[in-house]
Structure 1
Amino acid sequence: MKLLLIEDEPELADALAAALSKHAILTDHTSRLADAHELTLQNEYDAILLDRRLSDGEGLDFIPKLRRAGKNTPIIVLTARNQPMERVEGLNVGADDYLGKPFLVEELLARVRALLRRPAALPEQTLTIGRLLIDPVHLTVMIGSSRLDIPRRELLVLQALAKRKGRAVLRSMLEEAVYNYEEEIQSNAIDAHISRLRKRLAAAGAGVGIHNIRGVGYLLKEE
Structure 2
Amino acid sequence: MAPAISGIDVDAGTLALRDMQVDFGERGFYLAGGQAPLRIWIDNQGDEPVTLEAVTSPDAEAVVLATEVAGETPGEGESTPAPDESSPAPDESATPDADASETPSAAASETPEGDASSPTADTSPTAGTSASASPEGEPASPTLEGERDFTIEIAPDSFVRLAPTRGSFLLLDGLKEKLTMGQTVEVTFVFSNGEAVTVDLPVGTPEVAPSRSYFEPGHAEGAE
Q: Sort the TM-score into its range (normalised by shorter chain).
A: under 0.3
Question: What TM-score does the superposition give when structure 2 sets the normalisation length?
Answer: 0.26
Larger relative contact order, structure 1 or 2 (CA cutoff 8 Å, min sep 6)? 2
- TM-score w.r.t. the length of structure 1 is 0.26
**Structure with greater proportional strand content:** 2
